[in-house]
Amino acid sequence: MSPRTRLYFTSAVNRIFHKAGILAENERTSGENNIKNSEVEFGTFTPVSISIYHFLAALFTEEESHLQDFFSKYKLSPDLWHAKFPELVFLSELLAKKQKNVNSSVKQRLTENSKLDTPLSFSLENAIQHAAAEFSFQEPLEISSDLIFYGLAKTAPDISEFLNEHHISHETLYTYITHIHHYENTALSIPEIHMSDSKIKDVSHQETEITASSEINESSQSKKTEEPPLQKTRDDSLPVCEFQEIHAPKIQIKFYRLLDAAADRAGEALRVLEDYVRFILDDGFLSREMKNMRHLLAEEISRLSMTIRLTCRDTLTDVGTQISTKSEFYRENVFHVLTANFSRLQESLRSLEEFSKISFPESSKVYEALRYQSYTLQKAVFFSARNNSSFRVSENFSSKKTSLTEHADLLRQRLSQAKLYILTDGASDEESFRKRIDACITSGTDILQLRDKKAEDQHLLHLAKIIRTRISELNATTIFIMNDRPDIAMLAGADGVHVGQEELSIRDIRTLCGPEKLIGLSTHTLSQAHNALLAGADYIGVGPTFPSSTKTFTNFPGLELLRNVAAEIRLPAFAIGGISLNNLEQVISAGFTRVAISSAVTLQKTENEITDTIKAIKNILEISAPTFPVSDTQ
């Protein structure tokens, strides 16, 4: 673009803006807001501005124009526009009802050379600047409605999408404009946009200057005398009507620099996190979630013109690049890498969210939703890594750990290594129960769950206390889990609670039991396993795999579910349902080396039989390396 490109608005554009302004002012005075994406003027917080929809509705009243010829040629009828943008129906009807008064008002305004009090929206101003930049080879440049529409087609996603749906490209519109206006048909490119000191002071004849340098001395600028407008060979009878400044240029550039930097930081952080869950954690589900989030972020960020982002980017003079701390160049472990990048992601999304409220309110809502999604994913990634021995990371929250955090970390370390999970009822009598419990503990059971649907509350609590006492007395590392009953778990000092799909939610149990307790959840579908991970389960039970003598099921997802879960999820997952020495190899072949068994142990009659069974199962599990089928998450 030349250092001084003079811009003029045609009389038709003058009329269109005045009609659009009347629509916007009617919206303000009536207190109605029928525009889907009512835009807010950047920097001024004007409640109502001339939006894209006000402009389009007024544009359609200009029946004889190059742009209307273009619409006719490509069969873009009003019905198609109204179907795509229902808000135009209301505005068009309003203009039709008030046509006589509107025409009179516009004529009066133009005659009186009055200012238009309603400002242009950010999107319209952005489109004008984009069109001015792209057609800057024409000197002087007269901004007509088709040039503004071209700018909207390049910068407004909804308009671009509408044209694409009807197989109309930007190049098609560009060629049409250059042909109609007899512009020099140069190669289609987007010159650098110089927004410094740009003004649109005129909608008809008075010139606009777009200055190449953004570093103009303000004192010398104030002394500069304006050049007289160029003489034009067309009707100059209509007087000049002024508009507000587009934006304070330096503020606008800094605004885009901020959004550009925040967008880059968010994308970079997401890529780091995606690489971890994909290549190290090897979790297909979380990899897809991260990838989907990255694509959603990229799609929303694309609403910001990359041309303007790059034009405003100024890394060389960014004061932030010279500020650093020692911690930026050191990571103690993988946990710190994950924490740093989740923090970077969330902080960047918050910055995008807050500053987008000024000019891109719809984008702000998307950034908010992505930020909340990142909180959920952070929890899921952390739990998967923390509770799995193959990928375990240490929190290292503080050098001064409390006894609670030490105990919670120890529990999760044991869980990450656990393979054998045994469920037991209260047996026929207390003596038999004690012998069974001792045999399970001394044989190296990793997790022991008390599940007895028939026992009364007081007796159930008594049995739970026996398990807690015997684990302590035998100085064992066995984890004690209480089935369904967080109240009994807390009273007996259990290490955690296991629930089914119909019992209390993980959130409710956390509320009752606190953050240090383990929570397990039974899952019967892959979707339930996904949800358990996102909800914050420490581990899941997956099944039923085979028919069981202790529980009745009408449906058996079987080995297929085990294969699906093993291929996608790295949270500790225990196959459950009718598993015994006879079918254990099938479970392992499906990708599971963690199993939960019940009748295979509880039906044994003596302590020796229980011990032999447990040791045989553990031996098979120990020599079976975990198999994690790799998902195609690229």
Listed ranges 308-317, 398-407, 585-594; the one with the highest mean pLDDT = 585-594
Contacts of 552 by beta carbon, 8 Å cutoff, 6+ apart: none
Rounded CA separation 69/198 (Å): 31
CB distance 128 to 200 below 8 Å = yes
Number of neighbouring beta carbons within 10 Å of residue 512: 14
Write down the pLDDT at residue 631. 42
The H or E element containing residue 496 is strand 496-499
Q: Give me the percent of the chain exceeding a pLDDT of 90.
A: 44
Structure tokens at 200: 């649109």
Mean pLDDT value across the chain: 79
Write down the pLDDT at residue 340. 93
pLDDT level of residue 464 (50, 70, 90 thresholds): very high
Rounded CA separation 142/204 (Å): 9
Higher pLDDT: 258 or 6? It is 258
Chain center to CA of 9: 40
CB distance 243 to 203 below 8 Å = yes
Rounded CA separation 357/40 (Å): 8
Q: Give me the percent of the chain exceeding a pLDDT of 70.
A: 74
Span of 197-211, 259-273, 285-299, 436-450 with lowest mean pLDDT: 197-211
Please provide residue 312's backbone torsions phi and psi, each rounded to the nearest 5 degrees. Answer: -85, -15
Higher pLDDT: 474 or 208? It is 474
Rounded CA separation 78/91 (Å): 12
* Mean pLDDT computed over 531-548: 94
Number of neighbouring beta carbons within 10 Å of residue 442: 16
Write down the pLDDT at residue 546. 93
| 3-state per-residue secondary structure call for 259-298 | HHHHHHHHHHHHHHHHHHHHHHCCCHHHHHHHHHHHHHHH
Residues 124-139 have pLDDT tens digits of 887 887 787 777 655 5
Contacts of 462 by beta carbon, 8 Å cutoff, 6+ apart: none
Number of neighbouring beta carbons within 10 Å of residue 23: 27
Write down the pLDDT at residue 251. 65
pLDDT level of residue 463 (50, 70, 90 thresholds): very high
Write down the pLDDT at residue 317. 75
Nearest partner of 353 among 246, 266, 248, judged by Cα: 266
**What strand order describes the sheet that includes 4-9?**
141-143, 4-9, 208-211
CB distance 5 to 132 below 8 Å = yes
Nearest partner of 523 among 543, 538, 537, judged by Cα: 543
Residues 32-86 have pLDDT tens digits of 444 444 333 333 333 467 888 888 888 888 877 888 888 888 888 888 898 888 8
Write down the pLDDT at residue 140. 62
Nearest partner of 567 among 522, 629, 518, judged by Cα: 629
Nearest partner of 401 among 519, 516, 510, judged by Cα: 516
Does the pLDDT value for residue 399 go beyond 60?
Answer: no
Does the pLDDT value for residue 117 go beyond 90?
Answer: no
Up-side HSE of residue 623: CA atoms within 13 Å toward CB?
7
> Angle at the Cα of 96 (from 90 to 101), degrees rounded to 5?
120
* Mean pLDDT computed over 419-442: 96
Does the pLDDT value for residue 542 go beyond 70?
Answer: yes
Rounded CA separation 436/416 (Å): 25
Rounded CA separation 147/507 (Å): 55
Span of 224-238, 247-261, 436-450 with lowest mean pLDDT: 224-238
Span of 297-311, 335-349, 587-601 with lowest mean pLDDT: 297-311
